[in-house]
Amino acid sequence: MKSFRSRLFVLATFFLVFPFFLRRRPRVEQRITILARPSSIFPFLNDLRNWPLWTVWGQREEIDYEYGDVTAGEGAVQCWANSRMSGLLRITKSESDERIDYELEIGDGAYQLVGRIELQPDGACTRLVWKCAWDLAQNPYRRYFDLLMRWMMRRDYAAGLENLKTLVESSDKPQEVAA
């Protein structure tokens, strides 16, 4: 019995102390290389109407999208809602064939995230880097939630980038001419 109490005490101490050593500003970063020039990829990123084609969020459940007057480039806005929550995606900076910066607000601004997608040309290929960060976790125990969010977002970003790679590489291939 004494051994059980000792183990329980060590475990409880670990869970109480561990979050103080976790990153305070959570970040996620995923990379992929696509066999296409940045000019072939950029329209899928810069026009928010194209995001549902490659992101994975709409594949899990139905999402309703609405767009502002501007749908591509700086100032483009996408409002979305599903059965559990709603949000707003806004492109804050757009540099043609180089990068886009965006803000994402979820739950009427309760959660905010800033992100960037960079395109780095490398010969016939392009390296894509998709990264984001969100607000500081002042409460150390909220960092457990941030751990879960980082895991989920890494998974979603990786799947979305794979979808984008498939979409771009299949649409970038030259059409065969029937003889």
CATH number at residue 52: 3.30.530.20
Residue 117 forms part of a structural domain: yes
Residue 87 forms part of a structural domain: yes
Q: What is the pLDDT of residue 143?
A: 65
Residue 38 forms part of a structural domain: yes
> Beta strand 86-95 with 111-122: parallel, antiparallel or unpaired?
unpaired
Tens place of pLDDT per residue across the chain (179 aa): 678 777 777 667 766 666 666 555 677 889 999 999 999 999 999 999 999 999 988 787 888 999 989 999 999 999 988 888 889 999 999 999 999 999 999 887 778 889 999 999 998 899 999 998 877 666 666 666 777 777 888 899 999 999 999 999 987 544 443 43
Alpha-carbon distance of 104 to 18, in angstroms, equals: 29
Counting the structural domains of the chain, the total is 1
Q: What is the pLDDT of residue 25?
A: 64
Residue 69 belongs to domain spanning: 23-171
Residue 2 forms part of a structural domain: no
Residue 137 forms part of a structural domain: yes
Q: How far is CA 39 from the centre of its chain?
A: 21
Alpha-carbon distance of 96 to 10, in angstroms, equals: 54
Residue 91 forms part of a structural domain: yes
Residue 8 forms part of a structural domain: no
Alpha-carbon distance of 164 to 31, in angstroms, equals: 12
State pTM to two decimals: 0.77
Q: What is the pLDDT of residue 54?
A: 92
What are the distances in angstroms from CA 111 to CA 41, 114, 136?
29, 10, 11
What are the distances in angstroms from CA 84 to CA 25, 42, 107?
26, 31, 9
Alpha-carbon distance of 83 to 5, in angstroms, equals: 44
Q: What is the pLDDT of residue 111?
A: 81
What are the distances in angstroms from CA 10 to CA 17, 20, 45, 62, 142?
10, 16, 48, 44, 21
